[in-house]
Structure 1
Amino acid sequence: MPRKTKLILCPLNLRHAKIEYNAYSEAVDMARRRGAKLIIATVAPEIERNLNIYNSDIYWGEQLQEFLKAHPADDVEVETVVRKGAVHRQIVKLADDRNVDLIVMEAANPKVQDYLLGTTASHVVTHAECSVYVVRS
């Protein structure tokens, strides 16, 4: 009997979301078809390089909300999450903490020409307990 997908995690790099959001589109479609809840997450750096960002949780949370307004996930229950730290570790930790059934993520930074998976995607694929769907840009 196939496993039921109830919770999908889609990590977004908001610095590149204006350029490329194929994984987000795939995750929304999958959540809609499967009747699953969607967690849209972003990982902020421990220390912001931009000195104008005083509270990264608030800043990146607002950026997530702006992204969702521009790209609504109609008919899908969506939750947003902001984490801090190393992106690859935080994605796996969030998936484990929330018992995610599926992670849908971009393969690599859209500016990087790479013939293998990006380091973040390869770490997540290797260490996540759930299935991982990697979207090539």
Structure 2
Amino acid sequence: MARDVELLLCPVNLRHAETNTNAYDEAVAMARRRNARLIVATVAPEMERNLNIRDSEAYWSQQLAKFVKDNPAEGVEVETIVRKGAVHRQIVRLACERKVDVIVMNSANPKVQDYLLGTTASHVVTHAECSVFVVRA
């Protein structure tokens, strides 16, 4: 069954979101141009490094809501989602589950170890069933 409106996914690393909103800004602009809905997602770690965070999902849900409020996507229907686990796997899984049309995500400049280990963006590009638009940080 075909959808009338496209669905975009923009994963956001909230640890770097204050200094870099390039992919989010592009996702919002793309959603406006395509009259699409936008999922803004973040992936929480399985184990929090900060022991003061007792409820990881609640904490990251609040942080994601604050990010979207501070960076309004006027004219775009936005849904927020928090997942836990390995970032690259959760992005691909979410895109597949929700039948996303396009993933819009950041990619940092690669370093030597990225070529050996693989970056989040390269994993998503390789494994996603939909198109992936990578925005350089």
Q: Give TM-score scaled by structure 2 length.
A: 0.90
* Aligned counterparts, 1:118-137, within 5 A: 119-137=119-137
- Report the RMSD for the aligned CA atoms in angstroms: 1.7
Number of residue pairs the alignment of both structures matches: 131
Shift of 1:45: 0.4
**Residue pair 1:5, 1:102 contacting (<8 A) in 2 also:** no
**Residue pair 1:8, 1:102 contacting (<8 A) in 2 also:** yes
Query: 2:28 maps to which residue?
Result: 28
**Matched AA of 2:43:** V
1:37 equivalent in alignment to 2:37: yes
Calculate percent identity across the aligned residue pairs.
66
Q: 1:13 to 1:70 in 2, by over 3 A?
A: same
Secondary structure of the equivalent of 1:13?
A: coil
* Aligned counterparts, 1:55-74, within 5 A: 55-74=55-74
CA deviations on 1:59-112 (whole Å, 9 max, x unpaired) are 00000111111100000000000000000000000000000000000012xxx6
Q: Give TM-score scaled by structure 1 length.
A: 0.90
Shift of 1:127: 0.1
**Matched AA of 1:88:** H
Structure 1 unaligned residues grouped into runs of 5+: none
**Residue pair 1:6, 1:34 contacting (<8 A) in 2 also:** yes
111, 116, 137: which is aligned to 1:114?
Answer: 111
Secondary structure of the equivalent of 2:32?
A: helix
* Aligned counterparts, 1:42-57, within 5 A: 42-57=42-57
Q: 1:123 to 1:104 in 2, by over 3 A?
A: same
Secondary structure of the equivalent of 1:132?
A: strand
Q: 1:104 to 1:58 in 2, by over 3 A?
A: same
Whole-Å separation in 1 of the counterparts to 2:90 and 2:69: 25
Secondary structure of the equivalent of 1:29?
A: helix
Whole-Å separation in 2 of the counterparts to 1:5 and 1:101: 10
Question: 4+ residue stretches of structure 1 with deviation over 4 A?
Answer: 115-118
